[in-house]
Chains A and B, each alone.
Chain A
Amino acid sequence: MNTEFQKIDQAKFRFVNESERLHDKKFDDKPVGYFKDAWIRFRKSRASVVAAVIILAIVLFSFIAPICIKGHDQTFMVTTYAKKPPRITLLRDLGKKTGYSNRSFSARSLMKALSTGVGALDYAGNEQISFEAAMGSDYMPILEITGESKSVGADKSEVTTYMADIETYLEVGFIYKSIEQKELSNILAWEKEHGKHILYPLVENNEYCLDATDANYWYKSDAKGNPLTYNAKGTKLIKVKEYNPAFVLLDNYKRDADGNPIYYEFTGGGSVDTAQYKIRVLYINYYEYQYGEEPNYFMGTDAQGRDLMLRLAGGIKLSLLIAVAVSVINFILGALYGSTEGYYGGTVDLIMERISDILYDMPFIVVAALFQIHLAKKVGPIPSLLFAYITTGWIGTASRVRTQFYRFKNQEYVMAARTLGAKDRRIIWKHIFPNSLGTIITSAALVIPATINSESMLSYLGIVKLGSAQHTSLGTLLSDAASIWTNYPHLMFFPALTLSLLMICFNLFGNGLRDAFNPALRGVE
């Protein structure tokens, strides 16, 4: 390397660019600011983008679901169809099983379930339809017998247990209704128009009818519910204990003198308008007549018989609303408090820190419980829950803002601003606060999953009661399902899945935000 710079001849020196003057060139591309920089970094983290998309999808779902369901809304409630699994008519039209659960049956209960489908087909009460022939019809609750096993029962006789997929909506079968004259004529008109039957023959209340209030016992049975049939000679009724696909049930319908079944019975009331009738309806068709649609619940129904999907959509909305409100309010309070103590320091800082210390050390569960007991009756459960969150929630944000203020308040640019005569307020909000914005936004984003989680926990524990006909929260849905979900897993599955997804995605999203705003923290959890 040539190091003999001293010996260059002076004559060799000349000015660079003697002819033109040098200027700083203007940048051709747009400047990349703090937020743009963060956005570029955020975009690169694939997991966070996916999480953001899923969050967006869940939020969209909560708004679109009520629009897509035309027939009913969140408050719509049919108690007869409570706790039913998802039933999607589209799937059924495609030939898939829907709205069913797999259960075990004894021969007797299997025959009772089958009888509902047979009865629905045998409208006039004169067709001899066997179990086999009724299988696969639109009204047959037993979709498929998936297996059978034999075991020895208590009385040492052999007992057969069947496993079968049963359509729980059709399982409801027939019910008795008491209606007025006007509705009766409406039903008859509807039947004619749609070609479907709602009214089915009434059942004789005699020794062959096991339970006069259960409209599904339309066949002749003994006192234990075993179906009866004639013996080989046709002289005597004998009970049937074994399931036989070719078996034909004997109907126990009420008939008039000519042997035609009776479909409605006058029970009281004087004039034409107020006359009361007892009828026996096939509930699935009656439902269609009442609400203008077949039962179609994408996530099944809840414990009261409301559409779980719409309840879930409402729950997501309320939970997110609470979480976002808490996050925004904490953001504002924390920023105000933290910047005041951070900027002024000294005694102000000392006193304000002790106050937030004490609030911070109060367990949240205690605060929430006290607020619920004191305030819930006066201002309602949602505002009092918000108060509880706000009482202690801002402390984290405040301490972060405070740290940032300590970092920046003695920097040269702040001193310059102060020398130029800027007021405290201007220095705080124009010069220092924007520098701490990244940290606070990240913490505000992470407040959302924390709030959703603790809200659902409080609702689940019953400390907060947010459920009502109009609104519900994710935690309330879980808490409603808590005692019965073992028999109806869908009640727990959908809310728990949504909640878990939301939590995972918000955490990923928050981590992505943090990495984007503070690249130095990347990888440090």
Chain B
Amino acid sequence: MRMLKYVLKRIALMFFVLFVITTICFVLIRILPRELPMEKSQQELILARWEALGYNKPLLVQYGIYWKNIITKWDFGTSWYIAYRKPAWDLLVSRLLPTVLINVYSLIFSVPIGLALGVYAAIKKNKWQDTFISTMIIVFISVPSYVYAFLVQYIFYFKLGWLPLQLYSVADAGNTYFSWKMFHSMIGPILAMSFGEIAGLCRFSRAELTETLTSDYMLLARTKGLTKAQATARHALKNAMVPVLPSIIGSFFAIMSGSLIIEQIFSVPGVGQLYMRSINTFDYDVFMLDSLFYTFIGLAGGIVIDLSYGFIDPRIRMGER
């Protein structure tokens, strides 16, 4: 019961924060200057459109209209430049699949490797294997992801010719994101994203496991006769995973927002690319919705991480004083 109360409280708070940020974004975006095109006939059309959309009314009324449209019609505005007259929500939803797909592939690829390397380094602590892995972690975590993207493109496209330079369009890949050809072209961005993720996960799991390996219950486990491998697998690993798993769950949630820069480099038609294009073309409704989307994902991810602690380790009760 207390748990439910806590969850409800967190969700209510989340919506409050979301509301405030929406307000800030809305005001900042609506007071931006709007430019009229040069052509006379176009001008009249656009002025009429602005009038109909209520852009000439006071800001507060505009804000009221914005919320009314969302609540009654689930209408977040319309894209006027990226996809003419397509509802912004539909546009966002259509961009979600490639982003999520690439990120899920990348997680599937990097989670096992990251965990395995982290556990291995922790077991071999202070030996050369650990030093090597720790050094590599620092290097791979520090280097920005787009440098990997260039390396991947350079090695796998120019030198070896194994992968295409950029993502194939859906039409090229048989009208679906799930074809083999599409996957082949996705390997590039997946690889570029994975290096950083592997290093991050490796560092986290190594740190957690080294801590549990030196704790008192490990000593107890050894004294009661377990071998080192048994004690590690049964006691240390389980406890070390308590903070690691929520972070993986968190990244599963955060993958929706994707990586702006990787999508740009590999021209993935995803949410990040949509965001960049909405900024460059001043497609304000799309920009607004995408900003909201990023905020929402960040907030919801935080809640999911906090709650998952309680599910993974029942001893941890969230919201306790």
Near A by CB (< 8 A), chain B positions 266-288 give 275-276, 279-280, 287
B261 near A507 (CB under 8 angstroms)? no
Q: Is the CB of A461 within 8 A of B276?
A: yes
Taking a contact as CB atoms under 8 Å apart, the answer to whether B295 and A525 are in contact is no
Interface residues of B in 12-45 (CB under 8 A from A): 17, 20-21, 24-25, 28-29, 32
Q: Do residues B203 and A525 form an inter-chain contact, with CB atoms below 8 A?
A: yes
1/0 contact string of B125-155 vs chain A (CB within 8 Å): 0000000000001110111101100100110
- Of B20, B265, B298, which one neighbours A358 at CB under 8 angstroms? B20
* CB-defined contacts of A461 to chain B, threshold 8 Å: 260-261, 264, 276
* Cβ contacts under 8 Å, B143 to chain A: 500, 503-504
B144 lies within 8 A of A365 (CB):
no
The number of chain A residues with a CB under 8 A from chain B is 37
Tell me, rounded to whole Å, the shortest Cβ–Cβ distance linking A328 to chain B: 22
Given pairs A496-B147, A496-B150, 11 additional interface contacts (CB within 8 A)? A373-B279, A374-B28, A457-B261, A460-B146, A482-B265, A486-B153, A503-B142, A504-B139, A525-B204, A525-B206, A525-B207
CA distance A358 to B211 in the complex (A): 34
Q: Is the CB of B153 within 8 A of A507?
A: no
Measured CA separation A357–B203 after assembly (Å): 28
Q: Verify if B210 is at the interface (C-beta below 8 Å from A).
A: yes
Q: How far is the CB of B303 from chain A (nearest CB, A)?
A: 11
Name the one of B17, B153, B207, B261 contacting A357, with C-beta atoms under 8 angstroms: B17
B169 CB–A CB distance under 8 Å = no
> Please, which residues of chain A bring their CB within 8 A of the CB of B280?
462
A523 to B125: give the CA distance in the assembly, Å: 11
- In the complex, A82 has a CB within 8 A of chain B: no
* Contact A370:B154 (CB < 8 A) given known A361-B299, A507-B142, A508-B138: no
A373-B279, A504-B138, A523-B207 in contact; A499/B260 too (CB < 8 A)? no
Contact at A507–B150, with CB atoms within 8 Å? no
Contact of B24 with A365 in the complex, beta carbons under 8 Å: no
Residue A327 at the chain B interface, CB threshold 8 Å:
no
Give CA–CA (A320, B299) in the complex, Å.
31
**Per-residue B-contact encoding for A448-471, CB less than 8 Å = 1, 0 else:** 010001001100111100000000
Residues of A whose CB lies within 8 Å of any CB of B are 357-358, 361-363, 365-366, 369-370, 373-374, 449, 453, 456-457, 460-463, 478, 482, 485-486, 489, 492, 496, 499-500, 503-504, 506-508, 511, 523-525
Q: Which of A362, A492, A506 contacts B21 (CB 8 A)?
A: A362
Q: How many angstroms from the CA of A67 to the CA of B158 in the assembled complex? A: 37
Interface residues of B in 41-92 (CB under 8 A from A): none
Q: Does B291 contact A (CB under 8 A)?
A: yes
- Our pick among B211, B275, B295, B299 for the contact of A524 (Cβ within 8 Å) is B211
B239 CB to closest chain A CB, in angstroms?
15
Hey, which chain B residues are within 8 Å of A366, CB to CB?
A: 25, 291, 294-295
* A361 to B, closest residue via Cβ: B17
Residues of A within 8 A of B150 (CB): 485, 492, 496
Query: Top 10 nearest A-B pairs by Cβ distance?
Result: A503-B142, A504-B142, A363-B294, A366-B291, A500-B143, A525-B207, A507-B142, A525-B203, A496-B147, A370-B28
Name the residue of chain A whose CB is nearest to the CB of B157: A486
User: Given A457-B261, A461-B264, do A500 and B147 touch, yes or no (CB 8 Å)?
Assistant: yes
The reply to whether A489 and B154 form a contact with Cβ atoms under 8 Å apart is yes
B135 CB, nearest partner CB in chain A, Å: 8
Partner of B147, one of A369, A499, A525: A499
Return 29 A-B CB contacts under 8 Å, by A number. Answer: A357-B17, A358-B17, A361-B17, A361-B295, A361-B299, A362-B295, A363-B294, A366-B291, A366-B294, A369-B279, A370-B25, A374-B32, A453-B144, A460-B146, A460-B261, A461-B260, A461-B261, A485-B150, A486-B154, A486-B158, A492-B150, A496-B150, A500-B147, A503-B143, A503-B144, A504-B142, A523-B210, A525-B203, A525-B204
Given contacts A365-B294, A373-B32, A525-B204, contact A500 B210 (CB under 8 A): no
Which applies to chain B's interface (DSSP): helix, strand, loop or mixed?
helix
Cα A361 to Cα B146 in complex, Å, equals 25
For the complex, what is the distance from the CA of A462 to the CA of B29, rounded to whole Å?
19
* Closest residue of A by beta carbon distance from B284: A373
Q: Which residue of A lies closest to B25 (CB)?
A: A366
Name the A residues within 8 Å of B291 (CB-CB): 363, 366, 369
A499 to B203, CA, bound (A): 22
Binding site for A on B (CB under 8 A): 17, 20-21, 24-25, 28-29, 32, 137-139, 141-144, 146-147, 150, 153-154, 158, 203-204, 206-207, 210-211, 260-261, 264-265, 275-276, 279-280, 287, 291, 294-295, 298-299
Residues of A within 8 A of B142 (CB): 449, 500, 503-504, 506-508
Q: Using A499-B144, A504-B142 as known contacts, say yes or no to A363 and B298 having CB atoms under 8 A apart.
A: yes
Closest to B139 in A: A504
CA of A370 to CA of B142 in the docked complex: distance in angstroms?
27
A524 to B134, CA, bound (A): 12
Are B138's CB and A507's CB within 8 A? yes
Query: Nearest residue in B to A456 (C-beta to C-beta)?
Result: B144
Provide the bound-state CA to CA distance between A465 and B86, in Å.
30
Question: Given the complex of chains A and B, what is the CA–CA distance between A484 and B176 in angstroms?
Answer: 30
- Contact A478 B146, beta carbon cutoff 8 Å: yes
Name B165's closest neighbour in chain A (CB-CB): A486
Structural contact, A361 and B21, CB atoms closer than 8 A: yes
Min CB–CB distance B32 → chain A (angstroms): 6
Q: Is the Cβ of B279 less than 8 Å from the Cβ of A463?
A: yes
Nearest residue (CB) in B for A474 is: B144
Contacts of A369 in B (CB 8 A): 279, 287, 291
A434 vs B298: C-alpha distance in the bound complex, in angstroms?
34
B25 proximity list for chain A (CB < 8 A): 366, 370
When the two chains form their complex, are residues A457 and B275 in contact, meaning their CB atoms are under 8 A apart? Answer: no
In the complex, what residues of A have CB within 8 A of residue B276's CB?
461-463
Contacts of B147 in A (CB 8 A): 496, 499-500
Q: Cβ of B24: which chain A residues have Cβ within 8 Å of it?
A: 362
- Which residues on the A side are within 8 Å of B279 (C-beta)? 369, 373, 463
Query: How many Å from the CB of A314 to the closest CB on chain B?
Result: 20
Q: In the assembly, what is the distance between CA of A499 and CA of B148, in Å? A: 12
A500 proximity list for chain B (CB < 8 A): 142-144, 147
- A365-B203 in contact (CB<8A): no
Name B146's contact: one of A373, A457, A506 (CB within 8 Å).
Answer: A457
Inside 8 A of B28's CB, which chain A residues have their CB?
Answer: 370, 374
Pick from B141, B204, B264: contact of A507, CB under 8 Å: B141
**Complex Cα spacing A252 to B207, Å:** 75
Which residue of the partner chain B has the closest CB to A463?
B279
* Min CB gap B257→A, angstroms: 8
CB-defined contacts of A362 to chain B, threshold 8 Å:
21, 24, 295
Closest A residue, CB atoms, query B143:
A500
Smallest CB gap from B295: residue in A: A363
Bound-state CA distance A503–B147 (Å) is 12
CB distance from A118 to the nearest CB of B (A): 33
> How many angstroms between the C-alpha atoms of A504 and B16 in the bound complex?
39
Complex CA distance for A449 and B265, rounded to whole angstroms = 22
